Structure 1
Amino acid sequence: MEFGRGEVVVLLLTITALLWGATPILEKMGLAKVDPLVGVTIRSAIVTLGLLILTFLLGKGRALVSLDGKSILLFGASGMMAGLLGMWTYYMALQMEATSKIVPIAACYPLVTALLSVLILNEGLNTSRVIGTALIVSGIWLVR
Structure 2
Amino acid sequence: MMRNIRTNLIIYKPIKNNISNVYMTYLILQYLSVILIYGVSPIINKYVLAHIEPESFMVIGGFVGLISAIIFSFVRKNNLLFDIANMNKHKHVYLLIFLSSFILSIIVNYNYLGLLNVEPAYRVTSVTSCYPLITAILGYLFLREQVSIKHLAGVVLIIGGVYMLS
TM-score between both structures, scaled by the size of structure 1: 0.89
Matched, 1:16 2:34: yes
Partner of 1:50: 68
Letter in 2 for 1:46: V
Higher helix share goes to which structure? 1
Taking the aligned partners of 1:70 and 1:119, their CA distance within structure 2 comes to 20
Structure 1 residues 69-121: Cα deviation after superposition (integer angstroms, max 9, x where no partner): 22211111111112211111000000001111111111111011111111221
Q: Could you give the per-residue CA deviations for residues 24-74 of structure 1, whole angstroms, max 9, x where no partner exists?
A: 111101111222122122112211211210121233443465333222111
Question: What percent identity do the matched residue pairs reach?
Answer: 22
Which SS does the other structure have where 1:4 is aligned?
helix
Alpha carbon RMSD of aligned pairs, Å? Answer: 1.8
Q: What TM-score does the superposition give when structure 2 sets the normalisation length? A: 0.78
* Worse overlay, 88-97 or 70-79: 70-79
Partner of 2:43: 25
Q: Does 1:123 align with 2:156?
A: no
Question: In structure 2, what is the equivalent of residue 79 of structure 1?
Answer: 101
SS at match of 2:146: coil
Within the alignment, does 1:62 sit opposite 2:120 as a pair?
no
Larger Rg computed on CA atoms: 2
Kindly provide the amino acid, as one letter, of the partner of residue 101 in structure 2: G
CA distance in 2, matches of 1:26, 1:99: 10
- The C-alpha deviation readout for 1:109-138, integer Å capped at 9, x for no partner, is 101111111122122220111011111111
Count of aligned residue pairs for this structure pair = 143
Structure 1: gaps (5+ residues): none
